């Protein structure tokens, strides 16, 4: 199979070092005491990335498993849950909560803007009787970020448990779990960390553990049950066999993140340069504010379709970029400049290929994307 440069907003490119780590000989992780130490060490690296001293778990499943596990473990039938909705994933969080019997109230924002803090504050002054709130840090489909550093302390003011999806933010956007009072934050291996898809990880505060372990009703799942992980290290017991090769890869990928220096600043610099190129070309960014530094969403100009763009980019340039789904299907293209994708040369050749694709289909833009990008760097 011909190898394309994957410039999608996840999965991202996986470095050779990570692939080599995954190729190591395995042991029996359920019996080998050394692997319990290795798992703990990997969780420790994630704690560093998340800026937390709270417990961190790595689960065998894509990022959505983390979302559902948080909902399954924290929510009991009839619990009132606030779903902060200004994007496809934000709204979708409410669907997971409903599965476990939550009574959902939506705080709806503009899908092209980050959450308005004043509007949220006014809302909470009138209605704050919620057990927990769900929100998304980085809305991957729309390429915007929400001010989690302000939203979570506001929610905690009313005693509301905070559950944050930062799958596309962790490792690329600033995130300080303890300082920002996040009870549960969810991540995935395949985005800014640039490990292979298949792992989710989450931090769990003491308050969240208290709720999980003192429920009135049993958790309606085994695989999504976080309670069974509480004393894994003390008891040297995993609830199910860990995906050992994936964890080898994750550990190595985390080393690469830290080795590359200021990874947050690198994402900011690349993200800013991409947006500057888009705006100078007179293409239109989908978000109006709250721009993500890990993914850029661009409205598709008239006269060309996503299929035209995608197929030409793959067939002629061997570069894969993202489309979208749900209400944004066929309306935007997305470039993932996260993790191993977040390097000047990779973004440059992607934008150069996009320039050529537009030219091929007679789409006139102002100047050249790749030249504007290079100038901004």
Residue 359 sits at the vertex; the CA angle it makes with 140 and 355, to the nearest 5 degrees, is 45
Asked if residue 161 lies in contact with residue 190, where contact means CB atoms within 8 angstroms, the answer is no
Cβ-proximal residues to 54 (8 Å cutoff; 6+ apart), any chain: 47, 177, 178, 203, 204, 205, 206
Q: What is the DSSP string of 70-129?
A: HHHHH--TT-EEEEEESSHHHHHHHHHHHHTT-EEEEEE--TTS---HHHHHHHHHH---
- Tell me if 113 is assigned to a ligand binding site: no
Asked if residue 152 lies in contact with residue 180, where contact means CB atoms within 8 angstroms, the answer is yes
Asked if residue 96 lies in contact with residue 117, where contact means CB atoms within 8 angstroms, the answer is no
Query: 3-state secondary structure string, 20-35?
Result: HHHCCCCCCCCCCHHH
Which residues are paired to 363 by β-bridges? none
Asked if residue 81 lies in contact with residue 103, where contact means CB atoms within 8 angstroms, the answer is yes
Residue 225 sits at the vertex; the CA angle it makes with 222 and 227, to the nearest 5 degrees, is 125
In angstroms, the CA 16 to CA 12 distance is 13
Known binding residues: 334
Known binding residues for substrate: 334
């Amino acid at each position: 199979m011909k190898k394309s440069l994957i410039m999608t907003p996840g999965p991202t490119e996986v470095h050779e070092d990570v692939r080599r780590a995954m190729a190591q000989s395995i042991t029996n992780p359920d019996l080998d005491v050394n692997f319990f130490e290795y798992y703990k060490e990997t969780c420790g690296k994630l704690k560093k990335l998340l800026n937390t001293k709270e417990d961190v778990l790595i689960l065998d499943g894509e990022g959505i498993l983390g979302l559902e596990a948080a909902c399954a473990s924290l929510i009991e039938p009839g619990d009132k849950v606030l779903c902060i909705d200004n994007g496809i994933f934000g709204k979708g969080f409410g669907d997971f909560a409903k599965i476990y019997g939550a009574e959902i109230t939506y705080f709806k924002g503009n899908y092209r803007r980050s959450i308005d803090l004043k509007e949220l504050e006014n809302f909470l002054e009138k209605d704050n009787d919620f057990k927990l709130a769900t929100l998304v840090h980085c809305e991957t489909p729309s390429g915007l970020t929400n001010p989690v550093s302000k939203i979570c302390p506001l929610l905690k003011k009313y005693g509301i448990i905070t559950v944050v999806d930062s799958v596309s933010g962790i490792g690329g956007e600033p995130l300080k779990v303890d300082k920002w009072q996040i009870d549960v934050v969810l991540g995935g291996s395949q985005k800014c960390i640039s490990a292979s898809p298949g792992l989710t990880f989450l931090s769990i505060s003491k308050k969240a553990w208290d709720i999980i372990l003192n429920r009135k009703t049993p958790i309606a799942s085994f695989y999504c049950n976080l309670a069974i992980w509480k004393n894994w290290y003390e008891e040297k017991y995993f609830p199910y066999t860990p995906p050992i090769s994936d964890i080898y890869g994750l550990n190595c990928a985390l080393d690469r993140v830290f080795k590359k220096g200021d990874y947050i600043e690198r994402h900011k610099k690349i993200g800013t340069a991409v947006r500057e190129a888009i705006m100078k070309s007179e293409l239109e960014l989908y978000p109006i504010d709250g721009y993500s530094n890990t993914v850029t969403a661009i409205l598709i100009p008239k006269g060309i379709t996503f299929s035209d763009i995608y197929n030409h980019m793959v067939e002629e340039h061997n570069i894969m970029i993202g489309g979208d789904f749900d209400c944004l299907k066929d309306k935007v293209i997305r470039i993932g400049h996260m993790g191993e994708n977040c390097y000047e040369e990779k973004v440059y050749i992607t934008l150069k290929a996009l320039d050529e694709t537009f030219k091929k289909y007679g789409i006139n833009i102002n100047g050249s994307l790749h030249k504007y990008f290079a100038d901004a760097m």
